[in-house]
Amino acid sequence: MNVKQELTVTGQFENLAQIRQFIERLAALAQLDERASYAIQMAVDEACTNIIEHAYGGEGTRPIRLLSEPHPDGLAVIIYDQGRPFAPTQPPTLDTEAPLENRQAGGMGLFFIYKLVDQVEFAVGTAQGNRLRLFKRRGPA
């Protein structure tokens, strides 16, 4: 894949299926194996769900814009939103061994995003809005 591809949808949960199809197609073009393809799809799905729920405060008409970024050894997906800024300075920690009733509320989705992909980069206040870049390396052939 050597050409950037783009998808823009409104921040509505029903559009997550369209986003998943877009990422699935990008993963195939980038020749990601099944495991890497699933990982980037799940990470993007969680990120877009977080945008709708937290950055936008619920469903609405504000856009979620996704761009593919050609990369020789994997797939980068850049997600832009126009919601509340969010840029953690480090990956969240989560005690996956603790009983459910003792775990902190929230943060699980972000924890899994960091576990699913190889690079996570946040930037707020760019000319195009909040920016999240996710990169997944191609698995061994």
Q: What are 83-113's pLDDT values in tens digits?
A: 998 777 655 565 556 565 655 555 577 889 9
Matching residue, tokens 């050609």: 70
Half-sphere exposure of 25 (CA within 13 A, CB side): 13
Provide the number of structural domains found in the chain: 1
| 111 lies in some domain | yes
pLDDT value of residue 17: 97
- Please state whether the predicted TM-score (pTM) of the whole model is above 0.85: yes
Sequence-ordered list of residues with C-beta below 8 angstroms from that of 72, at least 6 positions apart, any chain: none
Residue 23 pLDDT > 80: yes
| 101 lies in some domain | yes
CATH code of 73's domain: 3.30.565.10
| 128 lies in some domain | yes
Rounded average pLDDT over 48-73: 94
**Domain containing 28: what range?**
6-137
| 1 lies in some domain | no
Q: Can you spell out the DSSP letters for 82-109?
A: -SS----SSPPP--TTS-GGGSPSS-HH
Other CB atoms within 10 Å distance of the CB of residue 27: 26
